Amino acid sequence: MRLLHVLRRPGEAYLAQALIEAGHVVEMASDIGEALLVAPAGAFDGVLVEVADLTQVPIARLVEAVEGGVLVIIADHAEPADRTRALRAGADACFTRPVHFMELQARLAALVRLAPSPAADSPFRLDSATRVARFADRELTLPASEFRLLDYMSRHAGEVISAAQILEQVWGETGDPKPELVRTLVARLRARLVETFDQPFLVTLRGHGYRLDANMTGFSSG
């Protein structure tokens, strides 16, 4: 899944990191205001909001910003009446702390399956719950890091994506772009795609980055 995670407090990214380690693509927003700006342009499967007070969450505005994705809220405390109002206003799920991570992840996957948001121009159908990529009549199960990479590239099919963008958006790393790490992951994923689908799909544009080619007919080196 590609998720936008609204942090409860700046720097408090434990849940986001757990989701990344579980194989999801997670972008972080420092507050709801930032999320309202980022969400419409992000093509997210869902927005996960952590808050202290559920009554302070602008549910309707977030639902509109998500544009078909799911909205899940985690509140420190919330009365049943408040949770009911949130659900009626458009939230897809509302948790109160403590939250069990496995249950949260399963609920997110179930909600996304009910409201799929396929990436435009991507040749693949991706199942984040099983980390399976399907193309034509074949399917490929990927390790978590390679699935995150393919998921991100699929959502930006046709665009040239730099190594720094991949590290930040897929692994949440900033600073040193570490192009060698990206090259290794791209090469590994490309090899699996060739083995299963007879096409590499990932094009290397030296000095610029990488592109997922939805109309691939030949092989690309690099």
Mean pLDDT (10-residue bins), the chain, 222 residues: 83 83 84 88 82 90 85 91 90 90 86 59 82 91 90 86 81 62 91 94 87 67 40
Across-strand partners of 93?
Answer: 72
Here the CATH number for the domain that contains residue 76 is 3.40.50.2300
Taking the CA atoms of residue 132, residue 6, residue 61 and residue 80 in that order, the dihedral angle to the nearest 10 degrees is 90
Complete DSSP assignment for 137-179:
TEEEE--HHHHHHHHHHHTTTTS-B-HHHHHHHHH---SS--H
- Tell me, yes or no, whether 184 and 146 share the same domain: yes
d(CA 124, CA 27): 22
User: What is residue 220's predicted lDDT score, i.e. its pLDDT?
Assistant: 41
Please check whether residues 81 and 159 belong to one and the same domain: no
CB contact set of 202 (below 8 Å; sequence gap of 6+)? 153, 186, 189, 190, 193, 210, 211, 212, 213, 220
Q: Is residue 48 in some structural domain? A: yes
Contact at 8 Å (CB) between 217 and 123?
A: no
Both 91 and 171 in a single domain? no
Same domain, 82 and 9: yes
Confidence at residue 1, expressed as pLDDT on a 0 to 100 scale: 75
- Residues 6 and 111: beta-carbon distance below 8 Å: no
Assess whether 88 and 137 both reside in one domain: no
Domain CATH for 129: 1.10.10.10
Whether 7 and 99 share a structural domain: yes
Q: Give how far the C-alpha of residue 154 lies from the chain's centroid of Cα atoms, to the nearest Å.
A: 11
CA atoms within 13 A on the CB side of 109: 16
The pLDDT value given to residue 214: 78
What is the pLDDT, as a whole number, of residue 65?
87
- State the residue range of the domain holding 96: 2-114
The whole model's pTM is what?
Answer: 0.56
Q: Is residue 126 within 8 Å of 154, Cβ to Cβ?
A: yes
Q: Which of 114, 143, 173 is the last residue of a domain?
A: 114
| C-alpha count within 13 angstroms, C-beta hemisphere, residue 152 | 27
Q: Is residue 157 part of a domain?
A: yes
